[in-house]
A and B are shown apart, each in its own frame.
Chain A
């Protein structure tokens, strides 16, 4: 499954797709997390309208499913931007300029953490450690991990990945 395609949100979703995903995983012990990951990856987010079907298939209450979705940072309930940019905000990256880098990225994209740009091009998310701490500061753009990122380096990455979607 290509996370970038799903993150790009090209494919829509329907009830049958959700049913298929759930049916394929429902037999696993503790199936809810694998199910939510699969929906999140395939659709790009977990549509609130899909929650009743997931709950029914796994013999859980809607509240239980909602509780799990809301607990974990990975699970989105809204369609993200076509390009998801995740910036590490943890100590090792802070030691190498992550605070200034994050400010630059926010200014460049014109959005804060947790926001999607108005035209739906970019979503900016915080992440707390990518395990790239020997090459900090680190960010992920789409599915690609980048290390020792400077503001200038970020601008280059941005023009390379989305020439048609430069923030204005």
Chain B
């Protein structure tokens, strides 16, 4: 009898030695003359236990982890192939509380299946959404997406159905569907995990979008930092194409859809949708003025639906189960589940899909178990490098678009980065400006010059060079960037700075009184003549 052993192919698992573990299992099995089939599954996202090896039937797979290549011989000695006891044994994978307590809709298959097996995908519910979409027809599909309440998971949170409806009603042809897979926010990896761990669900979601709006060509704009995702997606696209799920007359629908990957080249700003379009068209990734919105005049000037990987990957289950099944979860106008990504100094980091509105404390403390270093949590950044910092005492905030916005932050792409007591928040604030300066496309002045001045002014404050005056300059600068920038890069870069100032003034050598111009929602009061003198130089 063949024993089946699962060793993740996820790049994070590989970065911790999963390939070596798979190799060790293969050679150990050979030397013991045991019949073992190794499946390279996706990751379940419990990275504190990666590389996590599983054995047995899919329903009751027994997990072991974290496994190093050096543990493999002892696993065989303990007869792990029969699920027996071992110091690394974690029990039935799906019963591990960290995983079982999650609400996995978008990530239902992640870690369970062989990501490159179309049969496995279909056996686990894949392509049911597309089949139903073909039966329902374009208008009903768009209505379902609208009614589900799905808002973009890439950062901006714009209602997906409205974008689709706009593109559907646009008369011009051809139309395009573009997937934004330029997942550049530090602390985020949900797009990567979908592309590496369940690539067919992204292809299915994009195909549903194409059929719904009448698009015939799709592009996945993939960041070059994700070579594993590129390989998995390329293979999945080829398989889908040769099996009739892409190309001409998809599943006998009479509709055609072609899909191609385009690689980014290391520019964070290309995650901004119009800069991304410029890049696909073969130009510098410079942000475009809006309007026109891309749904009307997007790629090559044609109607274009642009969504993030997770947004597209969530569509199949919405169409398969109906809008209500998704809407059921969440709070207020933040419906459904969100794949939160816990990263940085967390003891149990990883992918946590939970209903919108889950408390930040639940993610950081209950799932995360506090810090990896064992030192107290000091700051938590929510929503990527342009998101606000929160203090330990603010962790009861709910993670949904409105609750985070009420504290002046952004939910963004759902990244949550934990820092312990050793963090210097003045340095993190300076880094936010520095990052904005490095990544600015340069089109608008507030972002291009403001970020450079911002870093300089923070340096001055830290080094006690006229700190009060320079704080005023920083205040005006943040105000100018927030309201004068063309896109979210310059517009949101003040958030980490203002939140660091407000909650950690001591790190800048300032008092809480010094920063009382920053409101509880991070708005800036009495900015005065916000603009010219801030960027006039020292």
Contact surface of A with B, Cβ cutoff 8 Å? 3, 29-34, 36-37, 58, 64, 67-68, 71-75, 88, 90-96, 127-136, 138, 143, 145-148
User: Nearest Cβ distance between residue A102 and chain B, in whole angstroms?
Assistant: 13
Contact between A72 and B15 (Cβ–Cβ < 8 Å)?
no
**Known contacts A74-B224, A90-B385, A134-B12; A95/B417 CB under 8 A:** yes
Contact between B431 and A91 (Cβ–Cβ < 8 Å)?
yes
Cross-chain pairs A/B with CB under 8 angstroms, 5 sampled = A30-B262, A64-B283, A71-B285, A91-B431, A133-B186
Interface residues in B270-293 by Cβ distance below 8 A to A read: 279-285
Contact of B187 among A34, A73, A92, A146 (CB under 8 A): A92
Which residues from A are CB-within-8-Å of B418? 95
Contact between B284 and A71 (Cβ–Cβ < 8 Å)?
yes
Which residues from A are CB-within-8-Å of B184? 128-129
Contact between A91 and B385 (Cβ–Cβ < 8 Å)?
yes
Contact between B187 and A91 (Cβ–Cβ < 8 Å)?
yes
Q: Which 4 A-B pairs have the closest CB atoms?
A: A90-B186, A73-B266, A32-B282, A95-B344
Which residues from B are CB-within-8-Å of A30? 262, 280-282, 300
Contact surface of B with A, Cβ cutoff 8 Å? 11-12, 14-16, 45, 47, 50, 183-189, 191-192, 224-228, 262-268, 279-285, 300, 341-346, 349-351, 372, 381, 385, 415, 417-420, 423, 428, 431, 435, 438-439
Q: How far is the CA of A152 from the CA of B341 in the complex (A)?
A: 28
Contact between A96 and B372 (Cβ–Cβ < 8 Å)?
yes
Q: How far is the CA of A130 from the CA of B196 in the complex (A)?
A: 14
Contact between A67 and B350 (Cβ–Cβ < 8 Å)?
no
User: Nearest Cβ distance between residue B405 and chain A, in whole angstroms?
Assistant: 21
Contact between B226 and A136 (Cβ–Cβ < 8 Å)?
no
Contact between A91 and B225 (Cβ–Cβ < 8 Å)?
no
Which residues from B are CB-within-8-Å of A146? 15
User: Nearest Cβ distance between residue B483 and chain A, in whole angstroms?
Assistant: 25
Which residues from B are CB-within-8-Å of A136? 343-344
Contact of B417 among A3, A33, A37, A91 (CB under 8 A): A91
Contact between B345 and A147 (Cβ–Cβ < 8 Å)?
no
Q: How far is the CA of A127 from the CA of B438 in the complex (A)?
A: 11
Contact of A135 among B47, B188, B345 (CB under 8 A): B47
Contact of A143 among B183, B227, B280 (CB under 8 A): B227
Contact between A133 and B262 (Cβ–Cβ < 8 Å)?
no
Which residues from B are CB-within-8-Å of A132? 11-12, 15, 189
Contact between A74 and B266 (Cβ–Cβ < 8 Å)?
yes
Contact between B285 and A96 (Cβ–Cβ < 8 Å)?
no
Contact between B350 and A131 (Cβ–Cβ < 8 Å)?
no
Q: How far is the CA of A47 from the CA of B450 in the complex (A)?
A: 34
Contact between A71 and B267 (Cβ–Cβ < 8 Å)?
yes
Q: How far is the CA of A35 from the CA of B12 in the complex (A)?
A: 29
Contact between B372 and A131 (Cβ–Cβ < 8 Å)?
no
Contact of A92 among B183, B284, B344 (CB under 8 A): B344
Q: How far is the CA of A143 from the CA of B328 in the complex (A)?
A: 43
Contact between B282 and A135 (Cβ–Cβ < 8 Å)?
no
User: Nearest Cβ distance between residue B99 and chain A, in whole angstroms?
Assistant: 14
Contact of B186 among A36, A75, A93, A143 (CB under 8 A): A93
Contact between B50 and A91 (Cβ–Cβ < 8 Å)?
no
Q: How far is the CA of A129 from the CA of B191 in the complex (A)?
A: 13
Which residues from B are CB-within-8-Å of A135? 12, 15-16, 47, 50, 349
User: Nearest Cβ distance between residue A41 and chain B, in whole angstroms?
Assistant: 10
**Known contacts A95-B344, A133-B188; A33/B282 CB under 8 A:** yes
Which residues from B are CB-within-8-Å of A33? 262-263, 265, 279-280, 282
Q: CB-nearest residue of chain B relative to A138?
A: B15
Among A72, A95, A136, the most chain B Cβ lie within 10 Å of the Cβ of: A95
Contact between A31 and B282 (Cβ–Cβ < 8 Å)?
yes
Q: CB-nearest residue of chain A relative to B217?
A: A29
Q: How far is the CA of A71 from the CA of B265 in the complex (A)?
A: 9
Which residues from A are CB-within-8-Å of B191? 131
